[in-house]
Amino acid sequence: MGNSAVSADHSPTEADPVPYPMARATGCPFDPPPALTTPESQERMRKVRLWDGSSVWLVTKYSHVRMLFADKRVSHDTAHPSYPHESAGFKERAQQGKSFVNMDSPEHQRLRRMVTAPFASRRVESLRPQIQEMVDGLIDAMLAGPSPTDLVESFALPVPSLMICLLLGVPVEQQKFFQDTARIIISTDSPPDVVNSAQGALLDYLEGLTVEKMTRPGNDLLSDVAVKHVATGSITAREAAITARLLLVGGHETTANMIALGTLALLQNPEQLAVLRDTDDPVLISSAVEEMLRYLTIAHIAPRRFAMEDIEVDGVMIHAGDGLALSLDAANRSPEEFPDPQSLDLLRDARKHVAFGFGPHQCLGQPLARVELQVVYGTLYRRIPTLRLAIDPDLIDFKDEGIIYGVRSLPVTW
């Protein structure tokens, strides 16, 4: 029945597109919704219906996803009426403080380049000893503290939170405020007024900090932006705060969820956990991190774009103004690119995954995320080889509603 509605020329069926996002299958918390990984769905684009009733093209095929992310006729301008927002809260957020992520170049490129220096591979690599020391310290504290403990609170969130605070130059004492705000901002369940006030408070705070750093700069990214770009008038303190918010929020929930969800996935796949527990080979650990990124693809709500011109993809015509949802999790489960895609295999070469997105907006924090994850995955299971769940796996609460997937808490013991 369903198939008969699809016309031969692959044009979208107007007959009631299915709602998106879809739910994951019960008992398969690490797999994308089944509808995204069937052979048919991986081959062709189809229209899906969003929260506001609008419909967009859902793109699932690896090559299509990469191509469209990189296509100059595709826009990420969230102020444009054709932009298909993730929720009412996201729409509100985009109006209030548009960061460079939500712009096209040349403006995107100009603003992005103001903050890329500290994320360069060599600069991040030089932080490795500091990250290692921090990870060891958190593990020491965990081992000395009560068991069971929540791995999210005691380890997964502090690692990236401390690092991004240090790098940006925002006070570590404000961590709780940052963590709470980040949670509200990335949830598609947050109503517009809640997003508005949470984000407003964070922006006001960061703007004040930027102004302070113009006169008393430290050795950090926000000081750098304040001195080089705000003091010289190329951006305002508010714009600097918007960029800082982007990095702060981006630096919190992403790596934290990779650590906690990743640990759960490894505990559920003991033979894979053993690969990491029994090695100190940096090449193997680095390759394992790429597979964890591919397998988990925590950015599980397809990033949005829209077409500025007509674009033909494999015989399907995307019209100017059509919305696009480019599914990273479906692309990362492509059987052509990653044989036996549904299994976690730390020994495979997964480097060409798109877990960080693709195109000009690809995650700028990826070198930092990689080093953090290499240190974490390379240390945690070796130092606590008896690490195990302290809860029935069926009772684990997953963050299905956020644009970043993960677990709300992970009680563990050893």
Partner 1 sequence: MRVTVDQEMCVSAGQCSVLAAKVFDQREEDGVVVLLDEQPPSELDEIVREAAAICPVSAIGLTES
**CB of residue 216 vs partner 1: minimum separation in angstroms?**
23
- Between 228 and 388, name the residue whose CB sits nearer to partner 1: 228
Stretch in the footprint of partner 1 (CB under 8 A) among 213-221, 240-248, 250-258, 358-366: 358-366
Binder of partner 1 out of 351, 385, 397, 408 (CB under 8 A): 351
* 287-326 binders of partner 1 (CB under 8 A): none
Instruction: Give whichever of 54 and 109 is closer to partner 1, judged by the CB atom.
Output: 109
Residue 366 interacts with partner 1 (CB under 8 A): yes or no = yes
CB of 54 to partner 1, least distance (A): 27
In sign, the C-alpha dihedral spanning 295, 299, 304, 309 is negative
217 counts as binding partner 1 under rule CB under 8 A: no
Q: Kindly state the number of chain residues that form the binding site for partner 1, as judged by CB under 8 A.
A: 25
CA trace torsion 150, 154, 157, 160 (10° rounding): -150
φ, ψ at 176 (rounded to 5°): -60, -45
Range 323-342, binding partner 1 (CB under 8 A): none
Q: Which of 73, 319, 352, 408 binds partner 1 (CB under 8 A)?
A: 352
Question: Which of 84, 357, 378, 406: binder of partner 1 (CB under 8 A)?
Answer: 357
Binding pattern for the stretch 90-129 against partner 1, x by CB under 8 A and - elsewhere = -------------------x--xxx-xx-xxxx-------
Q: Which residue stretch of 178-186, 192-200, 252-260, 349-357 sits at the interface with partner 1 (rule: CB under 8 A)? A: 349-357
**Binding residue for partner 1, selected from 5, 25, 70, 143, defined by CB under 8 A:** 70
29 counts as binding partner 1 under rule CB under 8 A: no
Give min distance, CB of 132 to partner 1, in A.
18
Q: Is 148 in the site for partner 1 (CB under 8 A)?
A: no
234 lies in the site for partner 1, by CB under 8 A: no
* C-alpha span between 131 and 376 (Å, rounded): 9
> Considering only residues 17, 169, 367, 402, which one is a binding residue for partner 1 as defined by CB under 8 A?
367
Q: How far is the CB of 226 from partner 1 (least distance, A)?
A: 16
Given the complex with partner 1, which of 73 and 351 has the nearer CB atom? Answer: 351
Binder to partner 1 among 57, 62, 83, 358 (CB under 8 A)? 358
- 8 A C-beta contact, residue 33 and residue 24: yes
Least distance to partner 1 from the beta carbon of 366, Å?
Answer: 6
Distance of alpha carbon 336 from alpha carbon 343, whole angstroms: 14
Closer to partner 1 by CB, 323 or 357: give it: 357
Burial of 123 from C-beta contacts in 10 A (0-12 / 13-18 / 19+): middle
CB of 34 to partner 1, least distance (A): 28
By CB under 8 A, residue 362 contacts partner 1: yes
54 makes contact with partner 1 (CB under 8 A): no
Q: Longest Cα pair distance anywhere in the chain, in angstroms?
A: 68
Contact residues for partner 1, defined by CB under 8 A: 69-70, 109, 112-114, 116-117, 119-122, 351-352, 356-364, 366-367
